[in-house]
Structure 1
């Protein structure tokens, strides 16, 4: 077995472990000194650098805004460079700009001016209030005091969403050139209270620990997803596949198994590693990191 490389390097430093008002950098990459695995990890929803103007424009305090985060997923997977794979992390919060959306999935009801024709205003994510610029946090609380200007949304997308995806595309292409193929792991977490992540087991109900999404085998070869599922189950996790999370924009957009690029979305139950109400790490975080 390949030994972990303790010389892994941080290419862009993180501003800090807790929510902070800025300034923002679009992303950071944790990279090995030499990439030895044909794998790229990405964490698009763990950003926690909240700009002051966003907080001022919101009806919600930072703790409520943070309910939308896949908090600490960057930490869960931060050993990736030791095993020869880079990890890309968004610095900006999901409630500010969602990197797991098309660049322009926007709700026209959020804006004081008309949106250009190229904007996708009718996706299911937009209808749910969870477009590229979200209207609500994940428990459906409205975020903003007043309508936004499209120019402000466009600036966010151009400054944060697009640089993140340019970086991700570059990592995937570099990996494919080096190894002849690439497996992109998109790292997410899911609320433990959601009914959809539970299953009936005998007379009781058990929540899924992990949901693997490969867009029903269109974004990743089934054999690759099989290996991931078997590995998680061997570690004692209860695993589901594609339900309720089949994969988001990143999975659909980058997954081209016929062209050597496989994408697998991993959702991890937050109860395994954090206090979901206070958005704090629990004693389960180091245990989870050791297990995976």
Structure 2
């Protein structure tokens, strides 16, 4: 077990790129020992994975990295967020605890029991959450050391219709939601994203999901780390829930590549329709 490869990957980009594409919720894989602690039957679990997984966002990031004039780095979670959610706080600071969706989920998107009350979350935190956080912290530190800054672009997707677990699902659901943080998201970065995604029918800030991911070592402390969350409404590129991706995926990848170029200080992607 100690020699098991980590369930996440840091995929290298150009040495001089400050951009790190973060893809935390794209996978559906649940290791067998973790599956044993989940109360849903196989069919119900597959339905839940259809709703909770940010399907194909890893493919969007990969295609964007290939298309970008200077390749960004990529940090990709290889396990489902039903194992642990690396973007939650592992303690009482996490507001999603109120719906059973903190760092270790106890309930589903529809409020059903996912894990039995007696399941101890701490082994999952120790085995999966902490190594992920440490590796992501190190990846940001490497970009800072190499380039003097780090730009985290956090890639997600969200359903067209709100799910019961959403705490702020009553707000607008634009084609592209831009999640911003008051400390780590400069207005210039938001403006660049608005340009890159201008061809998709509209963007909005912090609705229906807000904020963005920054490792705790840097959060609220280091202005050299900037970050922006990209939440793509799923009807832009796939059949919901859990269906195949369509031609919209390629267009979104080009837009992400364009943002990577702009945020990294290089020219925008020449053939991007959103430039």
Q: 1:170 to 1:251 in 2, by over 3 A?
A: closer
Q: 1:255 to 1:229 in 2, by over 3 A?
A: farther
1:159 corresponds to: 127
2:252 corresponds to: 288
- Work out whether residues 43 and 88 of structure 1, in 8 Å CA contact, stay in contact via their aligned partners in 2: yes
Residues in 2 aligned to 1:240 and 1:268: alpha-carbon distance in whole angstroms: 11
Give the RMSD, CA atoms, in angstroms. 2.4
2:194 corresponds to: 229
2:82 corresponds to: 95
1:65 aligns with 2:48: yes
Residues in 2 aligned to 1:147 and 1:26: alpha-carbon distance in whole angstroms: 26
- Work out whether residues 30 and 81 of structure 1, in 8 Å CA contact, stay in contact via their aligned partners in 2: no
- Work out whether residues 36 and 85 of structure 1, in 8 Å CA contact, stay in contact via their aligned partners in 2: no
Instruction: Give the C-alpha shift of residue 271 in structure 1.
Output: 1.1
Residues 86-126 of structure 1 deviation map (CA, whole Å, 9 limit, x = unaligned): 11111111112111112x23xxxxxxxxxxxxxx2x64210
Matches within 5 A, 1:20-39: 25-32=6-13, 34-39=14-19
1:177 corresponds to: 145
1:137 corresponds to: 108
Residues 192-221 of structure 1 deviation map (CA, whole Å, 9 limit, x = unaligned): 1126463xxxxxxxx511111112x32211
Residues in 2 aligned to 1:99 and 1:54: alpha-carbon distance in whole angstroms: 16
- Work out whether residues 211 and 266 of structure 1, in 8 Å CA contact, stay in contact via their aligned partners in 2: yes
- Work out whether residues 196 and 255 of structure 2, in 8 Å CA contact, stay in contact via their aligned partners in 1: no
Q: 1:85 to 1:184 in 2, by over 3 A?
A: same
Instruction: Give the C-alpha shift of residue 80 in structure 1.
Output: 4.6
Runs of 4 or more above 6 Å deviation: none
1:54 aligns with 2:37: no
Aligned residue pairs, count: 239
Residues 4-56 of structure 1 deviation map (CA, whole Å, 9 limit, x = unaligned): xxxxxxxxxxxxxxxxxxx9842012222x33321111111112211223334
Residues in 1 aligned to 2:19 and 2:156: alpha-carbon distance in whole angstroms: 16
1:277 corresponds to: 241
In structure 1, the gaps of 5 or more residues are 1-22, 106-119, 199-206
Q: 1:263 to 1:290 in 2, by over 3 A?
A: closer
Question: Using CA pairs below 8 Å that are at least 6 residues apart, which structure has the higher relative contact order?
Answer: 2
Q: 1:74 aligns with which of 58, 61, 69?
A: 58
- Work out whether residues 63 and 250 of structure 2, in 8 Å CA contact, stay in contact via their aligned partners in 1: no
TM-score, with normalisation over the residues of structure 1?
A: 0.73
In structure 2, the gaps of 5 or more residues are 163-168, 257-275
Residues 203-251 of structure 1 deviation map (CA, whole Å, 9 limit, x = unaligned): xxxx511111112x32211122122122211x33410012222215x24
TM-score, with normalisation over the residues of structure 2?
A: 0.78
Instruction: Give the C-alpha shift of residue 189 in structure 1.
Output: 0.9
Task: Please give the secondary structure, in 2, of the residue aligned with 1:163.
Answer: helix
Residues in 1 aligned to 2:102 and 2:161: alpha-carbon distance in whole angstroms: 23
Task: Please give the secondary structure, in 1, of the residue aligned with 2:200.
Answer: coil
Residues in 2 aligned to 1:64 and 1:95: alpha-carbon distance in whole angstroms: 13
